[in-house]
């Protein structure tokens, strides 16, 4: 069964995860027998002046995001 979840991930830069800083990501689990690496994800990113999203077209997988 498909599932959408909001997850938090510790920020790796400058060891901020140790201090409790994290970022949110929206994850879509297709359901069925798909592996977690194949789930789609949208992650907020900061551009030069505006905030945006990485993977808004729905083609960024958790495997690609975590590489």
Residue-wise pLDDT for 9-26, tens only, equals 777 666 666 776 677 788
The number of angstroms, rounded, from the C-alpha of 61 to the middle of its chain's C-alpha atoms is: 8
Domains: count for the chain:
1
Structure confidence at residue 50 (pLDDT): 63
Note down the domain range covering 18.
3-65
Question: pLDDT tens across 49-65, in order?
Answer: 666 777 767 688 888 87
Buried b (16+ CB within 10 A) or exposed e, 25-55: bbbbbeeeeeeeeebbbbbeeeeeeeeeeeb
| 13 compared with 42, residue with greater pLDDT | 42
């Amino acid at each position: 069964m498909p599932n959408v979840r909001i997850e938090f991930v510790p920020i790796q830069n400058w060891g901020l995860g140790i201090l409790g800083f994290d970022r949110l990501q929206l994850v879509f689990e297709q359901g069925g027998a798909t592996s977690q690496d194949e789930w789609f994800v949208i992650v907020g990113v900061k551009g030069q002046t505006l905030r945006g999203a990485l993977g808004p077209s729905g083609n960024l997988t958790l495997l690609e995001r975590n590489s």
